[in-house]
Protein backbone atom coordinates (compact mmCIF):
# COMPACT_ATOMS: atom_id res chain seq x y z
CA UNK A 1 0.00 0.00 0.00
CA UNK A 2 1.54 3.32 -0.97
CA UNK A 3 1.69 6.06 1.62
CA UNK A 4 -0.89 8.37 0.07
CA UNK A 5 -3.47 5.57 0.17
CA UNK A 6 -3.32 5.04 3.92
CA UNK A 7 -6.96 4.89 5.02
CA UNK A 8 -8.48 7.91 6.69
CA UNK A 9 -10.86 5.89 8.81
CA UNK A 10 -10.25 5.07 12.46
CA UNK A 11 -8.39 1.79 12.88
CA UNK A 12 -7.77 -0.26 15.98
CA UNK A 13 -4.45 -1.75 16.96
CA UNK A 14 -4.81 -5.35 15.81
CA UNK A 15 -2.49 -6.82 18.40
CA UNK A 16 -4.52 -5.52 21.37
CA UNK A 17 -8.13 -6.48 21.84
CA UNK A 18 -10.58 -3.66 22.45
CA UNK A 19 -12.21 -3.71 25.84
CA UNK A 20 -15.70 -2.47 26.68
CA UNK A 21 -15.98 0.91 28.37
CA UNK A 22 -17.33 -0.76 31.49
CA UNK A 23 -14.01 -2.59 31.88
CA UNK A 24 -12.26 0.75 32.26
CA UNK A 25 -9.30 -0.11 30.08
CA UNK A 26 -6.98 2.65 28.88
CA UNK A 27 -7.61 3.93 25.37
CA UNK A 28 -5.18 6.13 23.44
CA UNK A 29 -5.84 7.92 20.13
CA UNK A 30 -3.21 8.76 17.52
CA UNK A 31 -4.58 11.69 15.53
CA UNK A 32 -2.50 13.14 12.69
CA UNK A 33 -2.09 13.62 8.94
CA UNK A 34 -1.89 10.22 7.28
CA UNK A 35 -2.60 11.12 3.66
CA UNK A 36 -1.35 14.65 2.99
CA UNK A 37 1.71 16.89 3.19
CA UNK A 38 2.80 15.47 6.59
CA UNK A 39 2.10 11.79 5.91
CA UNK A 40 5.82 10.90 5.95
CA UNK A 41 6.65 13.30 8.77
CA UNK A 42 4.42 11.45 11.26
CA UNK A 43 1.58 9.56 9.62
CA UNK A 44 1.03 5.85 10.00
CA UNK A 45 4.61 5.56 11.24
CA UNK A 46 3.66 7.37 14.45
CA UNK A 47 0.86 4.84 14.92
CA UNK A 48 3.46 2.07 14.69
CA UNK A 49 5.65 3.86 17.24
CA UNK A 50 2.74 4.13 19.70
CA UNK A 51 1.99 0.43 19.29
CA UNK A 52 5.64 -0.33 20.06
CA UNK A 53 5.37 1.71 23.27
CA UNK A 54 2.29 -0.26 24.35
CA UNK A 55 4.05 -3.55 23.63
CA UNK A 56 7.17 -2.47 25.51
CA UNK A 57 5.03 -1.43 28.47
CA UNK A 58 3.51 -4.90 28.54
CA UNK A 59 0.14 -4.39 26.84
CA UNK A 60 -1.84 -3.64 29.98
CA UNK A 61 -1.96 -1.18 32.87
CA UNK A 62 -3.86 -1.36 36.17
CA UNK A 63 -4.90 -4.89 35.19
CA UNK A 64 -6.63 -3.80 31.97
CA UNK A 65 -5.72 -3.95 28.30
CA UNK A 66 -4.44 -0.86 26.52
CA UNK A 67 -6.09 -0.02 23.21
CA UNK A 68 -4.68 2.20 20.48
CA UNK A 69 -6.85 3.75 17.76
CA UNK A 70 -5.86 6.04 14.91
CA UNK A 71 -7.41 8.56 12.52
CA UNK A 72 -6.44 11.05 9.82
CA UNK A 73 -7.45 14.68 10.52
CA UNK A 74 -6.35 15.73 7.00
CA UNK A 75 -4.85 18.95 8.46
CA UNK A 76 -8.38 20.31 9.02
CA UNK A 77 -9.09 21.73 12.50
CA UNK A 78 -12.85 21.19 12.22
CA UNK A 79 -12.40 17.54 11.23
CA UNK A 80 -9.81 17.03 13.95
CA UNK A 81 -12.12 18.45 16.63
CA UNK A 82 -15.04 16.35 15.34
CA UNK A 83 -12.96 13.16 15.60
CA UNK A 84 -11.57 14.11 19.02
CA UNK A 85 -15.01 14.96 20.39
CA UNK A 86 -16.40 11.61 19.24
CA UNK A 87 -13.42 9.81 20.72
CA UNK A 88 -13.85 11.56 24.07
CA UNK A 89 -17.65 11.43 24.30
CA UNK A 90 -18.53 8.14 22.59
CA UNK A 91 -15.43 5.96 22.35
CA UNK A 92 -14.03 6.60 25.85
CA UNK A 93 -10.59 7.70 24.67
CA UNK A 94 -8.46 8.81 27.63
CA UNK A 95 -5.57 10.51 25.85
CA UNK A 96 -4.88 11.84 22.34
CA UNK A 97 -1.35 12.24 21.05
CA UNK A 98 0.82 13.06 18.01
CA UNK A 99 -1.46 15.86 16.70
CA UNK A 100 0.55 17.04 13.73
CA UNK A 101 -0.42 20.51 12.43
CA UNK A 102 -0.49 23.42 14.88
CA UNK A 103 -3.94 24.72 13.96
CA UNK A 104 -5.42 21.28 14.66
CA UNK A 105 -3.40 20.83 17.85
CA UNK A 106 -4.48 24.22 19.23
CA UNK A 107 -8.15 23.42 18.56
CA UNK A 108 -7.96 20.00 20.22
CA UNK A 109 -5.90 21.48 23.07
CA UNK A 110 -8.88 23.74 23.84
CA UNK A 111 -11.37 20.86 23.49
CA UNK A 112 -9.30 18.72 25.85
CA UNK A 113 -9.36 21.53 28.41
CA UNK A 114 -13.16 21.76 28.19
CA UNK A 115 -13.64 18.01 28.47
CA UNK A 116 -10.89 17.45 31.06
CA UNK A 117 -8.96 15.00 28.91
CA UNK A 118 -5.20 14.70 28.42
CA UNK A 119 -3.50 15.49 25.13
CA UNK A 120 0.23 15.17 24.47
CA UNK A 121 1.22 17.08 21.34
CA UNK A 122 4.25 15.75 19.48
CA UNK A 123 3.97 16.61 15.78
CA UNK A 124 2.75 20.21 16.04
CA UNK A 125 5.37 22.89 16.62
CA UNK A 126 3.83 26.12 17.88
CA UNK A 127 5.24 27.25 21.22
CA UNK A 128 1.80 28.73 22.03
CA UNK A 129 0.72 25.25 23.21
CA UNK A 130 2.69 25.75 26.42
CA UNK A 131 2.55 29.55 26.22
CA UNK A 132 -0.61 31.65 26.09
CA UNK A 133 -2.71 28.63 25.00
CA UNK A 134 -1.51 26.31 27.79
CA UNK A 135 -4.07 24.36 29.80
CA UNK A 136 -3.96 21.99 32.81
CA UNK A 137 -4.25 18.75 30.83
CA UNK A 138 -2.14 19.64 27.79
CA UNK A 139 1.47 18.60 27.21
CA UNK A 140 4.05 19.23 24.48
CA UNK A 141 6.75 16.71 23.61
CA UNK A 142 9.83 16.52 21.33
CA UNK A 143 10.36 20.12 20.18
CA UNK A 144 8.67 23.46 19.47
CA UNK A 145 9.24 26.61 17.42
CA UNK A 146 11.25 28.24 20.22
CA UNK A 147 13.67 25.30 20.36
CA UNK A 148 14.07 25.30 16.57
CA UNK A 149 14.80 29.03 16.62
CA UNK A 150 17.50 28.56 19.25
CA UNK A 151 18.98 25.50 17.53
CA UNK A 152 18.95 26.03 13.78
CA UNK A 153 18.42 29.81 13.80
CA UNK A 154 21.04 30.35 16.48
CA UNK A 155 23.72 28.33 14.71
CA UNK A 156 23.27 30.21 11.44
CA UNK A 157 23.30 33.65 13.08
CA UNK A 158 26.53 32.77 14.90
CA UNK A 159 28.20 31.79 11.64
CA UNK A 160 27.33 35.05 9.88
CA UNK A 161 23.77 34.49 8.73
CA UNK A 162 22.57 37.85 10.03
CA UNK A 163 20.00 38.79 7.36
CA UNK A 164 16.89 36.66 6.83
CA UNK A 165 13.87 36.31 4.56
CA UNK A 166 11.14 33.87 5.55
CA UNK A 167 9.04 31.59 3.36
CA UNK A 168 6.27 30.86 5.82
CA UNK A 169 3.47 28.26 5.90
CA UNK A 170 0.24 30.25 6.11
CA UNK A 171 -1.14 28.91 9.40
CA UNK A 172 -0.34 28.88 13.12
CA UNK A 173 2.82 26.79 12.92
CA UNK A 174 4.43 28.94 10.24
CA UNK A 175 3.60 32.19 12.02
CA UNK A 176 5.06 30.91 15.30
CA UNK A 177 8.23 29.58 13.67
CA UNK A 178 8.77 32.83 11.76
CA UNK A 179 8.18 34.92 14.90
CA UNK A 180 10.35 32.84 17.23
CA UNK A 181 13.22 32.64 14.75
CA UNK A 182 12.90 36.28 13.72
CA UNK A 183 12.94 37.40 17.35
CA UNK A 184 16.06 35.33 17.98
CA UNK A 185 17.80 36.74 14.89
CA UNK A 186 17.03 40.34 15.88
CA UNK A 187 18.01 39.77 19.52
CA UNK A 188 21.42 38.68 18.27
CA UNK A 189 21.98 41.71 16.05
CA UNK A 190 20.56 40.38 12.79
CA UNK A 191 17.84 41.71 10.49
CA UNK A 192 14.65 40.28 9.02
CA UNK A 193 14.32 41.69 5.50
CA UNK A 194 10.86 40.31 4.74
CA UNK A 195 8.56 37.31 4.56
CA UNK A 196 6.00 35.74 2.30
CA UNK A 197 3.04 33.57 3.36
CA UNK A 198 2.50 30.35 1.41
CA UNK A 199 -0.65 28.17 1.47
CA UNK A 200 -0.25 24.69 2.94
CA UNK A 201 0.47 21.96 0.38
CA UNK A 202 1.49 24.29 -2.42
CA UNK A 203 3.01 22.72 -5.53
CA UNK A 204 4.62 25.78 -7.15
CA UNK A 205 7.03 27.85 -5.05
CA UNK A 206 8.57 29.78 -7.95
CA UNK A 207 7.07 33.22 -7.23
CA UNK A 208 7.88 32.91 -3.52
CA UNK A 209 11.45 31.83 -4.23
CA UNK A 210 11.94 34.77 -6.59
CA UNK A 211 10.86 37.16 -3.81
CA UNK A 212 13.30 35.49 -1.42
CA UNK A 213 16.08 35.62 -4.00
CA UNK A 214 15.53 39.29 -4.77
CA UNK A 215 15.64 40.18 -1.05
CA UNK A 216 19.40 39.45 -1.08
CA UNK A 217 19.05 37.99 2.43
CA UNK A 218 21.92 35.74 3.41
CA UNK A 219 19.50 33.17 4.85
CA UNK A 220 16.18 32.08 3.39
CA UNK A 221 14.29 30.59 6.33
CA UNK A 222 11.87 27.85 5.34
CA UNK A 223 9.22 28.17 8.05
CA UNK A 224 7.34 25.15 6.75
CA UNK A 225 7.58 21.37 7.05
CA UNK A 226 7.01 18.04 5.35
CA UNK A 227 6.55 18.04 1.58
CA UNK A 228 6.33 21.84 1.59
CA UNK A 229 9.95 21.97 2.78
CA UNK A 230 11.27 19.32 0.40
CA UNK A 231 9.51 20.92 -2.57
CA UNK A 232 10.89 24.34 -1.57
CA UNK A 233 14.43 22.95 -1.49
CA UNK A 234 14.08 21.09 -4.80
CA UNK A 235 12.70 24.14 -6.59
CA UNK A 236 15.30 26.44 -5.00
CA UNK A 237 17.97 24.31 -6.67
CA UNK A 238 16.35 24.95 -10.05
CA UNK A 239 16.68 28.71 -9.44
CA UNK A 240 20.33 28.37 -8.44
CA UNK A 241 19.68 30.10 -5.11
CA UNK A 242 22.38 28.31 -3.12
CA UNK A 243 24.88 28.56 -5.99
CA UNK A 244 24.15 32.29 -6.02
CA UNK A 245 25.42 32.63 -2.46
CA UNK A 246 22.24 32.51 -0.37
CA UNK A 247 21.75 29.72 2.16
CA UNK A 248 18.56 27.77 2.81
CA UNK A 249 17.55 27.08 6.41
CA UNK A 250 15.09 24.22 6.79
CA UNK A 251 13.77 25.33 10.16
CA UNK A 252 11.73 22.17 10.66
CA UNK A 253 13.46 19.37 8.84
CA UNK A 254 13.51 15.76 10.01
CA UNK A 255 15.06 12.51 8.91
CA UNK A 256 11.93 11.69 6.90
CA UNK A 257 12.31 14.79 4.70
CA UNK A 258 16.06 14.28 4.30
CA UNK A 259 15.37 10.73 3.16
CA UNK A 260 12.81 12.04 0.68
CA UNK A 261 15.24 14.61 -0.69
CA UNK A 262 18.25 12.29 -0.87
CA UNK A 263 21.75 13.30 0.20
CA UNK A 264 22.63 14.84 -3.15
CA UNK A 265 19.95 17.51 -2.67
CA UNK A 266 20.03 17.74 1.14
CA UNK A 267 23.80 17.75 1.79
CA UNK A 268 25.02 20.65 3.90
CA UNK A 269 21.62 21.53 5.36
CA UNK A 270 21.73 22.35 9.06
CA UNK A 271 18.81 21.20 11.20
CA UNK A 272 17.72 20.56 14.78
CA UNK A 273 16.17 17.31 15.97
CA UNK A 274 15.62 15.86 19.42
CA UNK A 275 16.36 12.31 18.25
CA UNK A 276 18.62 10.63 15.71
CA UNK A 277 18.54 6.89 15.26
CA UNK A 278 22.34 6.39 15.34
CA UNK A 279 23.21 8.75 18.21
CA UNK A 280 23.50 6.22 21.06
CA UNK A 281 22.53 2.69 22.11
CA UNK A 282 18.99 3.62 23.26
CA UNK A 283 18.33 5.39 19.96
CA UNK A 284 19.64 2.45 17.95
CA UNK A 285 17.59 -0.09 19.90
CA UNK A 286 14.30 1.66 19.11
CA UNK A 287 15.36 2.36 15.52
CA UNK A 288 16.36 -1.20 14.70
CA UNK A 289 13.09 -2.59 16.03
CA UNK A 290 11.12 0.14 14.25
CA UNK A 291 12.96 -0.63 11.00
CA UNK A 292 12.01 -4.30 11.19
CA UNK A 293 8.33 -3.28 11.36
CA UNK A 294 8.32 -0.46 8.82
CA UNK A 295 11.41 -0.65 6.59
CA UNK A 296 12.48 2.86 7.62
CA UNK A 297 14.19 4.65 10.50
CA UNK A 298 12.09 6.87 12.81
CA UNK A 299 12.42 10.64 12.97
CA UNK A 300 11.91 12.72 16.13
CA UNK A 301 8.12 12.82 15.64
CA UNK A 302 7.75 9.05 15.56
CA UNK A 303 10.28 8.60 18.37
CA UNK A 304 8.47 11.35 20.27
CA UNK A 305 5.15 9.54 19.92
CA UNK A 306 6.78 6.43 21.36
CA UNK A 307 8.18 8.48 24.27
CA UNK A 308 4.91 10.32 24.96
CA UNK A 309 2.82 7.14 24.90
CA UNK A 310 5.21 5.31 27.21
CA UNK A 311 5.42 8.21 29.68
CA UNK A 312 1.63 8.52 29.78
CA UNK A 313 1.30 4.84 30.66
CA UNK A 314 3.95 5.21 33.38
CA UNK A 315 1.93 8.12 34.80
CA UNK A 316 -1.29 6.05 34.81
CA UNK A 317 0.51 3.24 36.64
CA UNK A 318 2.07 5.66 39.15
CA UNK A 319 -1.28 7.37 39.77
CA UNK A 320 -3.07 4.04 40.25
CA UNK A 321 -5.94 5.41 38.18
CA UNK A 322 -6.63 6.87 34.75
CA UNK A 323 -8.38 9.89 36.32
CA UNK A 324 -7.28 12.93 34.32
CA UNK A 325 -6.34 15.15 37.25
CA UNK A 326 -4.26 12.45 38.91
CA UNK A 327 -2.49 11.40 35.70
CA UNK A 328 -1.76 15.01 34.68
CA UNK A 329 -0.19 15.59 38.09
CA UNK A 330 1.99 12.49 37.70
CA UNK A 331 3.09 13.54 34.20
CA UNK A 332 4.41 16.78 35.71
CA UNK A 333 5.95 14.99 38.69
CA UNK A 334 7.72 11.98 37.17
CA UNK A 335 11.18 12.44 35.63
CA UNK A 336 11.59 11.30 32.03
CA UNK A 337 14.50 9.03 31.19
CA UNK A 338 14.20 7.47 27.75
CA UNK A 339 15.61 7.68 24.24
CA UNK A 340 15.32 11.49 24.41
CA UNK A 341 17.66 11.42 27.38
CA UNK A 342 16.91 12.66 30.89
CA UNK A 343 14.39 15.45 31.19
CA UNK A 344 11.51 16.92 33.14
CA UNK A 345 7.99 18.21 32.50
CA UNK A 346 7.32 21.79 33.55
CA UNK A 347 4.16 23.19 35.14
CA UNK A 348 3.02 24.42 31.71
CA UNK A 349 3.22 20.90 30.23
CA UNK A 350 6.48 21.42 28.34
CA UNK A 351 8.81 18.40 28.31
CA UNK A 352 12.32 19.84 28.60
CA UNK A 353 15.24 17.84 27.19
CA UNK A 354 18.33 18.38 25.08
CA UNK A 355 18.16 18.72 21.30
CA UNK A 356 20.92 18.29 18.74
CA UNK A 357 22.23 20.39 15.90
CA UNK A 358 23.04 18.27 12.86
CA UNK A 359 24.47 18.83 9.40
CA UNK A 360 23.36 16.56 6.56
CA UNK A 361 26.27 14.53 5.22
CA UNK A 362 27.61 14.60 1.70
CA UNK A 363 26.90 11.38 -0.23
CA UNK A 364 30.60 10.51 0.03
CA UNK A 365 30.46 10.74 3.83
CA UNK A 366 27.54 8.35 4.24
CA UNK A 367 28.76 4.84 5.06
CA UNK A 368 25.50 2.88 5.33
CA UNK A 369 21.74 3.22 4.66
CA UNK A 370 20.13 6.07 6.64
CA UNK A 371 23.58 7.37 7.65
CA UNK A 372 22.56 10.99 7.05
CA UNK A 373 23.70 13.22 9.93
CA UNK A 374 26.85 14.43 11.61
CA UNK A 375 26.32 16.08 14.99
CA UNK A 376 27.54 19.67 15.32
CA UNK A 377 26.39 20.60 18.81
CA UNK A 378 24.12 19.80 21.73
CA UNK A 379 21.37 22.35 22.41
CA UNK A 380 20.79 22.11 26.20
CA UNK A 381 17.15 21.82 27.22
CA UNK A 382 17.29 24.84 29.51
CA UNK A 383 18.51 26.92 26.56
CA UNK A 384 16.12 25.43 24.00
CA UNK A 385 12.92 25.99 26.01
CA UNK A 386 11.85 28.92 28.20
CA UNK A 387 10.97 28.33 31.84
CA UNK A 388 7.31 27.92 32.73
CA UNK A 389 7.34 31.43 34.21
CA UNK A 390 8.84 32.88 31.01
CA UNK A 391 6.51 30.98 28.66
CA UNK A 392 3.46 33.21 29.08
CA UNK A 393 1.36 30.29 30.34
CA UNK A 394 -1.45 31.65 32.54
CA UNK A 395 -1.21 28.58 34.79
CA UNK A 396 2.17 29.74 36.05
CA UNK A 397 1.23 33.30 36.98
Which positions of the chain have pLDDT values less than 70? 1-23
Topology agreement, domain 3-143+279-349 and domain 146-273+355-382: yes
Return the pLDDT at 205: 96
CA 332 vs. chain centroid, Å, equals 20
The pLDDT, as a whole number, for residue 397 is: 78
| 362 φ/ψ angles, rounded to the nearest 5 degrees | -75, 155
* Angle, vertex CA 273, rays to CA 164 and CA 347, nearest 5: 100
* pTM, entire model: 0.91
What confidence score (pLDDT) does residue 341 get? 87
Question: Can you give the residue ranges of every domain in the chain?
Answer: 3-143+279-349, 146-273+355-382
Non-local (6+) Cβ contacts of 48 within 8 A are 290, 293, 294, 302
DSSP-assigned states of every residue in 263-311? HHHHTT-EEEES--TTSSHHHHHHHHHHHHHHSS---HHHHHHHHHHHH
Domain 3-143+279-349: top CATH class: alpha beta
- Give the dihedral of Cα atoms 139, 168, 358, 163; nearest 10 deg: -130
Facing residues of 356 across strands?
273, 378
| pLDDT confidence of residue 20 | 42
For domain 146-273+355-382, give the fold: Rossmann fold (3.40.50)
Amino acid sequence: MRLGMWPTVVTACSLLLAVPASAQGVKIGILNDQSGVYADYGGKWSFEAAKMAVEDFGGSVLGQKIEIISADHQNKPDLGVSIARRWYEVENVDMITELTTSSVALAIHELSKQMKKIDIVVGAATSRLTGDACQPYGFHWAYDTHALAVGTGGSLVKTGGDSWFFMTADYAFGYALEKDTGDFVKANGGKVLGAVRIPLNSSDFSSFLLQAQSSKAKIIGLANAGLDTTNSIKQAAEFGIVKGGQKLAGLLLTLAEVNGLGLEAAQGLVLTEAYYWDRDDKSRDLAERFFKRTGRMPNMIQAGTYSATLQYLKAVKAAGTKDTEAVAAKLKELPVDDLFGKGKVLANGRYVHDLYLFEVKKPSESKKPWDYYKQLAVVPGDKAFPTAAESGCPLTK
